[in-house]
Amino acid sequence: MTRDKIVIKHHDYALKTDVVDAEVSAYAVAKSMDQDQFAELLDTYTNVMRNDYKHGFDIGCKLRSAHRTIQRSIIVLLVGVISGLSEQLRTDLRNEQAIKLAKQIRELYENVGAGPMV
């Protein structure tokens, strides 16, 4: 398996092991998804995997080797996701602080931005 491949697998409870179903190119998956599918993937990934700050930080560290223009694009995309979440009108105790943070991040982006695309 290489870094640009996604291995699709399931757990076989009878064999007590993971079984590989397919291997696909990350590029092919990314090119095939629309915004709705990406949102569903992000929602599901966050739900089934670790979803804490440390996990996100580790992902950010792995992206340090990405092309500088791609790094900017990733940051702008994720700030856009955060900004979109910040506009919801109803919160509860589970997400109230996160939405407050999202509003602050949106305000910071609107005031500072991420610099011009080079």
Strands 5-12, 17-25: pairing is: antiparallel
Give the Cα-Cα-Cα angle 111, 116, 118 (nearest 5 degrees). 160
What does the alpha-carbon distance between residue 83 and residue 115 come to, in Å, rounded to a whole number? 17
pLDDT computed for residue 114 by the predictor: 83
Residues facing residue 18 across a β-bridge: 11
pLDDT computed for residue 88 by the predictor: 93
The identity of residue 16, as a single letter, is: K
pLDDT computed for residue 2 by the predictor: 63
pLDDT in tens, the chain (118 residues): 467 899 999 999 999 999 999 999 999 999 999 999 999 999 999 998 878 999 999 999 999 999 999 999 999 999 999 999 999 999 999 999 999 999 999 999 999 988 776 5
pLDDT computed for residue 46 by the predictor: 93
What does the alpha-carbon distance between residue 21 and residue 8 come to, in Å, rounded to a whole number? 6
What does the alpha-carbon distance between residue 91 and residue 40 come to, in Å, rounded to a whole number? 20
pLDDT computed for residue 118 by the predictor: 59
What DSSP assignment string belongs to 1-25?
--TTEEEEEEEETTTTEEEEEEEEE
